[in-house]
């Protein structure tokens, strides 16, 4: 499939999915959400791929949902809509490991992407936050709490405050913080190490992870 707002590359057993709306800070409009979902479905069906890396083009990982879509409906309605629901469900239930290479700010829905990945590696300029709570969009508490614990997750989901890369590492949100110029190479190295295991075994482990997850989108 040809993608307009995302780039999909393959490097051996590793796929790299790049959000490619840098002029819009990789904001998640309906078209990009649909392309992400389609790309993940394509990778699930590709037996040559064992793992995927998600990153963003330009200096921002993802600024969140595209606020231009809020012109006719509320943020809560966009978040609860069919495009959003199917996108979140596919992202969470992707049956191969996902690595987030967070190249810059990951805000709102961008924070959600990173949270729904299995591993997060951050560039020094990365940051995380849920500012969307200030204008009426709900935040995803469950998967974040599973990573950093309920107390800190409540703080971030309710306050919307910004977490810089080093704090993200201290609280266990990201595994590593690396210079921006080394981020993608580091993410690929991590992905290749994981891909040394048989693909069927990785899928089995990912299934176990999903089954053990107490919170699932849409439930």
pTM of whole model > 0.85?
yes
Domain ranges within the chain, ordered by starting residue: 6-212
Q: Is 132 a catalytic residue?
A: yes
- Looking at residue 17, what DSSP letter applies? E
Asked if residue 45 has pLDDT above 60, the reply is yes
Q: Report the CATH superfamily, name and number, of domain 6-212.
A: 2-enoyl-CoA Hydratase; Chain A, domain 1 (3.90.226.10)
Q: What share of the chain is helix, strand, coil (3-state, %, to 5)?
A: 50, 20, 35
Task: Considering only CA atoms, give the Rg of the chain.
Answer: 16
- Tell me the three state secondary structure of residue 107: strand
- Tell me the three state secondary structure of residue 72: coil
What is the mean pLDDT of the segment spanning 138-153? Answer: 94
- Identified catalytic residue from 23, 35, 69, 132: 132
Contacts for 64 with CB less than 8 Å, ≥ 6 apart = 27, 28, 107, 108, 109, 110, 111, 131, 132
Q: pLDDT tens digits for 115-128?
A: 999 999 999 999 99
Share of the chain above pLDDT 70, in %: 92
Q: pLDDT tens digits for 189-213?
A: 999 999 999 999 999 999 999 998 7
């Amino acid at each position: 499939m040809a993608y307009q707002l995302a780039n999909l590359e393959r490097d051996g057993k590793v796929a790299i999915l790049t959000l490619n709306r840098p002029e819009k800070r990789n904001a998640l409009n309906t078209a990009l959400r649909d392309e992400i979902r389609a790309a993940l479905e394509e990778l699930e069906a590709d037996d040559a791929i064992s793992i995927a890396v998600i990153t963003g083009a330009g200096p921002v990982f993802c600024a969140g949902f595209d606020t231009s879509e809020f012109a006719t409906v509320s943020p809560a309605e966009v978040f609860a809509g069919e495009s959003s629901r199917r996108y979140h469900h596919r992202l969470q239930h992707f049956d191969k490991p996902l690595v987030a290479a967070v190249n810059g700010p990951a805000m709102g829905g961008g924070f959600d992407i990173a949270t729904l990945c299995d591993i997060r590696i951050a560039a020094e300029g990365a940051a995380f936050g849920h500012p969307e709570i200030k204008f009426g969009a709900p935040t995803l508490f469950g998967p974040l709490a599973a990573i950093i614990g309920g107390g800190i997750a409540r703080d971030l989901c309710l306050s919307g405050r910004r977490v810089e890369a080093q704090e993200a590492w201290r609280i266990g949100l990201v595994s590593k913080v690396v210079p921006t110029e080394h981020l993608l190479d580091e993410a690929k190295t991590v992905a290749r190490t994981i891909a040394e295991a048989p693909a069927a075994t990785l899928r089995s482990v990912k299934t176990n992870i999903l089954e053990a997850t107490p919170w699932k989108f849409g439930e």
